[in-house]
Amino acid sequence: MWYITKREIYDNLNSLRFALTTVLLIALMATNAVKHLREYPKRVQKYQDAATESLNRLTDRADDSLYKLAQYGPGDFYKKPSPLHFCANGGELLLPDTVEVREPPVFATDSDDNVLLKGIWSLSYPDANLQNKDVGPNVSQVDWAFIIGYVLSLIAILFTFDAFSGERERGTLRLMLANSVPRHTVLIGKFLGALLSLSIPFALAVLVNLLLISTANTVHLTTEAWGRLGIIFLLALLYTSLFLALGLLISTRVQRSAVSLMMLLLMWVTFVVFMPSTFASIASSFSPVVSFDEFWKQRNPVREDLWDKYEEWLWSEKLDDSTLRAKSKFYTENAERDERRHEERLKYWTSQVHRARAITSISPATLLQHLIEAFAGTGFERHLQFAGNVQRYARQFRGFVVDTDRGDPESLHIIGVREGMSQKSVSSKAVPRFEDTLSLSKDFNTVAMELLLLALFVVVLLAAAYLAFVRVEI
Amino acid sequence: MLVTLIRRELLDNLMTFRFAAAVFITLLLVVVNTVVLLKDYEQRLTAYNTATQESHQKLRKEKVYSRYAMYLTVHRPPNPLSIFNLGLDKQVGNKIAVYHAFVPTVWDAMKHGANNPFLNLFTSIDIALVFQGVLSLLALVFAYDALAGERERGTLRLVLTHPIQRGYILFAKYISAMLCLLVPLLISLLLSIILLTTSTSISWNVDDFLRIGGIILTSLLYISLFYLIGLCISAMTRRTSTALMLSMFAWGFLVLVYPNLILTAVDIVPQPETQTSAYNQIKQMWEELDRENKKFLRNDTVLGPLSRDGEAWGFRLKGSEYSFLRDEDEPSTLLYLYQSGFYAGKIKAESEPHVPHVQNYYGFHNREVVRTVQRTWLVRKPALEAIYIQPAKFGGMLLKFSPVGLYDAATEAWAGTDLEGIQDFFSTVRRYRRAVIDYFYDKKIFESRQWFAADQGTADWDALPRFSFQRSGVDINAKRALPDLCLLLTINLILFTIIFLIFIKSEV
| Tens digits of residue pLDDT in B375-422 | 999 999 998 888 888 888 888 899 999 999 999 999 999 999 999 999
* Contact (CB, 8 A) for B33 and B102: no
Q: Is B245 on the interface with A (CB under 8 A)?
A: yes
CB atoms near residue A89 (< 10 Å): 23
What integer pLDDT is reported at residue A21 of this predicted model?
Answer: 92
Chain B CB contacts of A128 below 8 Å: 117-118, 120-121
Taking the CB of residue B425, how many other CB atoms lie within 10 A of it?
A: 25
pLDDT of residue A111: 63
**What's the pLDDT score for residue B496?**
93
Polymer length in residues for chain A: 474
Rounded to a whole number, what is the distance in Å from the CA of A262 to chain B's nearest CA? 7
pLDDT band of A456, cuts 50, 70, 90: very high
pLDDT score at B413? 93
Question: To the nearest whole angstrom, how far is the Cα of B360 from the nearest Cα of chain A?
Answer: 28
Q: How confident is the model at residue A150 (pLDDT cuts 50, 70, 90)?
A: very high
Site from A284, A290, A297, A349 to mutate, B interface, most B CB atoms within 10 angstroms: A284
Label residue A299 by pLDDT band (50, 70, 90): low
**pLDDT tens, residue by residue, B282-341:** 999 999 998 888 888 888 777 777 766 666 666 777 777 888 888 888 888 888 888 888
Q: Measured between CB atoms, which of A32, A138, A261 is closest to B244?
A: A261
- Which residues of chain B lie closer than 8 angstroms to A284, CB-CB? 40, 115-116, 119, 122
Average of per-residue pLDDT across A10-18: 84
B248/A158 Cβ within 8 A: yes
The answer to whether A94 contacts B120, with C-beta atoms less than 8 Å apart, is yes
Taking CA–CA distances from B240, the nearest residue in chain A reads A258
d(CA B108, CA B94): 10
pLDDT band at A278 (very low <50, low <70, confident <90, very high): confident
C-alpha distances out from residue B425 to A393, B80, B157, B431, Å: 47, 15, 60, 10
CB B159 within 8 A of CB B150: yes
Q: What is the pLDDT of residue A446?
A: 85
Closest partner CB to B92 (pick from A24, A132, A261): A132
Residues from chain A contacting residue B41 (CB–CB below 8 Å): none
User: What pLDDT is recorded for position B270?
Assistant: 63
Mutate to test the interface with B, among A37, A260, A281 (most CBs of B within 10 A): A281
Check A270 against B29: CB less than 8 A apart.
Answer: yes
Contacts of B395 in chain A (CB under 8 A): 136-137
Average pLDDT, integer, range A52-61: 90
Residues with Cβ within 8 Å of residue B45, at least 6 apart in sequence: B77, B78, B201
The C-alpha atoms of residue A60 and residue B60 are separated, in whole angstroms, by: 48
Task: Closest CB to A291: pick one of B46, B114, B129.
Answer: B114
A290: closest CA of chain B, how far (Å): 7
pLDDT confidence of residue A289:
60
Spatial distance between the Cα atoms of B182 and B142, rounded to a whole number of angstroms: 12
Q: Which of B401, B405, B261 is nearest to A26 (CA)?
A: B261
Interchain CB contact of B119 with A (< 8 Å): yes
pLDDT tens digits along A300-310: 655 567 777 77
Q: Is the pLDDT of residue B428 over 90?
A: yes
User: Rounded to the nearest 5°, which phi and psi values hold at B400?
Assistant: -75, -5
Beta bridge partners of B322: B343
**Torsion, CA B121, CA B405, CA B26, CA A169, rounded to 10:** -110
What's the sign of the alpha-carbon dihedral B469, B471, B475, B481?
positive
Nearest to B118 among A28, A262, A380 (CB): A380
Whole-angstrom distance, CA of residue B255 vs CA of residue A45: 35
Decide if B358 touches A, using CB distance below 8 A: no
User: Which B-chain residues 296-315 have CB contacts (< 8 A) with chain A?
Assistant: none
Whether B93 and chain A come into contact, CB under 8 Å, resolves to yes
Q: Which residues contact A329 (CB under 8 A, 6 or more apart)?
A: A310
Asked whether the beta carbons of residue A269 and residue B134 sit closer than 8 angstroms, the reply is: yes
How far from A114 is each of A118, A315, A336, CA to CA, in Å?
Answer: 11, 14, 25
- For residue B366, pLDDT over 60 is answered with yes
Dmax over CA atoms of chain A, in Å, equals: 102
CB contact under 8 A, B265 and A132: no
Is B114 in contact with A278 (Cβ distance < 8 A)? no
Per CB-CB distance under 8 Å, the chain A contacts of B129 are 274, 277
Contact B328, B337 (CB under 8 A): yes
Cβ atoms A260, B15 nearer than 8 A: no
Give A134-190 as a 3 state SS string: CCCCCCCCCCHHHHHHHHHHHHHHHHHCCCCHHHHHHCHHHHHHHCCCCHHHHHHHH
Residues contacting residue B194 through CB under 8 Å, at least 6 positions apart: none
DSSP string covering B401-446, please?
Answer: TSHHHHHHHHHHHHHT-SHHHHHHHHHHHHHHHHHHHHHHHHTT-T
State the amino acid at position B250 in one-letter form: A
Mean pLDDT of A361-382: 90
Contact residues, chain B, for A273 at CB < 8 Å:
133
Chain B window 379-418: which residues touch A at a Cβ cutoff of 8 Å? Answer: 388-389, 391-392, 395-396, 399, 405, 408
- Residue, of B428 and A442, whose pLDDT is higher: B428
To 5 degrees, how large is the angle CA B241–CA B246–CA B249?
A: 125
Comparing CA positions, the residue from A183, A192, A194 lying closest to residue A160 is A194
Contacting residues for A118 by C-beta, under 8 A, at least 6 apart: A71, A104, A105, A106, A107
pLDDT digits 0-9 by tens, B138-187: 899 888 888 888 888 888 888 778 877 888 888 888 998 899 899 899 99
* B250-274 pLDDT per residue, tens: 999 999 899 888 888 887 766 677 7
- Compute how many other C-beta atoms are within 10 angstroms of the C-beta atom of residue A274: 21
Residue of A nearest to B423 (CA): A135
CB contact under 8 A, A353 and B141: no
The pLDDT, as a whole number, for residue A300 is 66
CA distance A368 to chain B (A): 14
Contact A24 B252 (CB under 8 A): yes
**Per the CB < 8 Å rule, is A142 touching B260?**
yes
Q: Is B143 exposed, middle or buried (0-12, 13-18, 19+ CB in 10 A)?
A: buried
Q: Do residue B391 and residue A35 have CB atoms under 8 angstroms apart? A: no
Please check whether residue B140 touches A, CB under 8 A.
no
C-alpha closest to that of A266 among B474, B20, B301, B61: B20
Considering only residues A42 and A287, tell me which one the structure prediction assigns the higher pLDDT: A42
Closest Cβ opposite residue B119 in set A139, A269, A284: A284
A299 or B90, which is more confident? B90
Q: Does B123 touch chain A (CB under 8 A)?
A: yes
Residue A304 is predicted with a pLDDT of 60
Task: Write down the pLDDT at residue B309.
Answer: 61
- pLDDT at residue B459, as a whole number: 84
Cβ contact, residue pair A162, B241, below 8 Å: yes
Cα–Cα distance for residue pair B118/A96, rounded to 1 Å: 10
Cβ A101 vs Cβ A242: under 8 Å: no
User: How high is the pLDDT of residue A112?
Assistant: 64
In angstroms, the CA B467 to CA B445 distance is: 19
Task: Please report residues of A whose CB lies closer than 8 A to that of B88.
Answer: 135
Within 13 A of A338's CA, how many CA atoms are on the CB side?
18
pLDDT in tens, A330-343: 888 888 888 888 88
Q: What is the mean pLDDT of the segment spanning B36-40?
A: 88
Per-residue pLDDT of B108-122, as tens digits, reads 888 876 567 787 778
Task: Please give the average per-residue pLDDT across A65-94, as a whole number.
Answer: 86
Shortest CA distance from A148: residue in chain B: B257
**Residue A49 CA neighbour count, 13 Å, CB half:** 6
List pLDDT tens digits, range A388-425.
999 999 999 999 988 888 888 888 888 878 777 888 88
For all residues of chain B together, what is the average pLDDT?
87
3-state helix, strand, coil in chain A (%, to 5): 70, 5, 30
pLDDT(B482) > 90 = yes
How buried is A136 (Cβ within 10 angstroms: 0-12 exposed, 13-18 middle, 19+ buried)?
A: buried
Question: What pLDDT, on the 0 to 100 scale, is given for residue A3?
Answer: 81
Are A260 and A161 within 8 A, CB to CB?
A: yes
Work out the mean pLDDT of chain A and round it to a whole number. Answer: 85
pLDDT in tens, A201-240: 999 999 999 999 988 888 888 888 899 999 999 999 999 9
Split at pLDDT 50, 70, 90, the class of A439 is confident
